[in-house]
């Protein structure tokens, strides 16, 4: 297991303005204050491990003795032998502050900046893996992002990572959600072509969408409409 501590978070005011739909000609000090407030509360850490795939089944893969059930993950790992299960968190303080913030709009802003910070921390981890293991393009999948890989699959994923609570303070609730809430988990894998779960997700309105729904790709993965 490897732990990355104090992951740097670099948020650009213009990108934050765009995400929060703030007027670009507004007071830049307001956006900067929001970024500073969030960054002061963030302690980004990641835990990851390197695993080799032991067995590829029809709709599951066995990694270090744990079966992960997802036909899409299985398909994505077709040409892959080595994967990187991970969990990444911004820590508890941002969660606590979001909960304590009385104004709903301020709460929304802080939460949205937290989502951007999580994404930035994810890019840092990806770059670290690419540099350390001399890898090219990489993609990731997260349990719970698609019905094909349900949230219950957090359990075997966390089993692969050992004691994530002791390492970086992340634990699973009985319903397999992560605490602190501003955390992400999943598997990074080498990929010739970038893959985003969003390409297979038909959800109409989603602020977190990273790529448009791709009907042809969904057909290729055997996803039926409405699935
Ligand atoms: S579109 Fe939204 S809900 Fe669907 S996979 Fe992407 S981020 Fe998740």
Residue 198 and residue 227: Cα distance in Å, rounded? 13
Binding site membership of 97 for ligand 1 (Cβ less than 6 Å) = no
Binding site membership of 198 for ligand 1 (Cβ less than 6 Å) = yes
- Which residue minimizes the CA distance to atom 6 of ligand 1? 198
Provide the pairing of β-strand 82-89 with 51-56: antiparallel
Counting ligand 1 atoms within 8 A of each CB, the residue from 73, 122, 145, 146 with the most, and so the one to mutate, is: 145
Q: pLDDT tens across 68-82, in order?
A: 999 999 999 988 999
- Residue spans per domain, the chain: 2-195
What is the whole-number distance in angstroms between the Cα of residue 199 and the centre of ligand 1?
8
What are the start-end ranges of the E strands in the chain? 2-4, 45-48, 51-56, 60-63, 66-69, 82-89, 138-141, 171-172, 178-179, 183-190
What is the whole-number distance in angstroms between the Cα of residue 28 and the centre of ligand 1?
30
Is the predicted pLDDT of residue 139 greater than 80, yes or no? yes
Q: pLDDT tens across 161-199, in order?
A: 999 999 999 999 999 999 999 999 999 999 877 888 888
Give, in degrees to the nearest 5, the angle at Cα 20 between 173 and 186: 35
- Which residue minimizes the CA distance to atom 8 of ligand 1? 145
Residue 155 and residue 152: Cα distance in Å, rounded? 6
Domain 2-195 is in which class? Answer: alpha beta
- Which residue minimizes the CA distance to atom 5 of ligand 1? 198
Binding site membership of 34 for ligand 1 (Cβ less than 6 Å) = no
**pTM for this predicted structure:** 0.88
Instruction: Return phi, psi of residue 35, to 5°.
Output: -60, -45
Is the predicted pLDDT of residue 135 greater than 80, yes or no? yes
Pair of tokens at residue 137: 């393009």
Residue 189 and residue 84: Cα distance in Å, rounded? 6
What is the whole-number distance in angstroms between the Cα of residue 197 and the centre of ligand 1?
7
Q: What is the pLDDT of residue 223?
A: 73
Binding site membership of 206 for ligand 1 (Cβ less than 6 Å) = yes
What size, in residues, is the chain? 227
What is the whole-number distance in angstroms between the Cα of residue 146 and the centre of ligand 1?
8
Pair of tokens at residue 48: 């990851």
Binding site membership of 199 for ligand 1 (Cβ less than 6 Å) = no
Mean pLDDT over all residues of the chain? 92
88-115 burial: b if 16+ Cβ within 10 Å, else e: bbbbbebbebbeebeeeeeeebbbbbbe
């Amino acid at each position: 297991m490897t732990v990355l501590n104090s992951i740097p978070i670099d948020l650009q005011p213009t990108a934050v303005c765009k995400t929060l739909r703030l007027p670009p000609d507004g007071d830049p000090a307001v956006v900067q204050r929001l970024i500073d407030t969030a960054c002061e509360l963030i302690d980004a850490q990641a835990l990851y491990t390197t695993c080799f795939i032991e067995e590829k089944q029809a709709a599951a893969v066995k990694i270090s003795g744990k079966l992960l059930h997802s036909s899409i993950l299985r398909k994505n790992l077709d040409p892959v032998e080595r994967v990187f299960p991970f969990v990444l968190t911004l820590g508890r303080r941002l969660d606590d502050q979001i909960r304590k913030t009385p104004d709903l709009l301020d709460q929304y802003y802080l939460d949205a900046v937290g989502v951007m910070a999580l994404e930035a921390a994810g890019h840092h981890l990806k770059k670290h893996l690419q540099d350390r293991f001399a890898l090219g393009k990489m993609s990731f999948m997260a349990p719970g992002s698609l019905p094909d890989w349900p949230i219950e699959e957090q359990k075997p994923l966390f089993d692969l990572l050992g004691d994530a609570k002791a390492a970086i303070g992340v634990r699973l609730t009985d319903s397999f959600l992560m605490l602190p809430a501003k955390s992400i988990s999943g598997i990074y894998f080498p990929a010739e072509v970038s893959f985003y779960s969003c390409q297979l997700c038909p959800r109409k309105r989603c602020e977190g969408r990273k790529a448009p729904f791709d009907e042809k790709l969904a057909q290729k993965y055997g996803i039926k409409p409405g699935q």
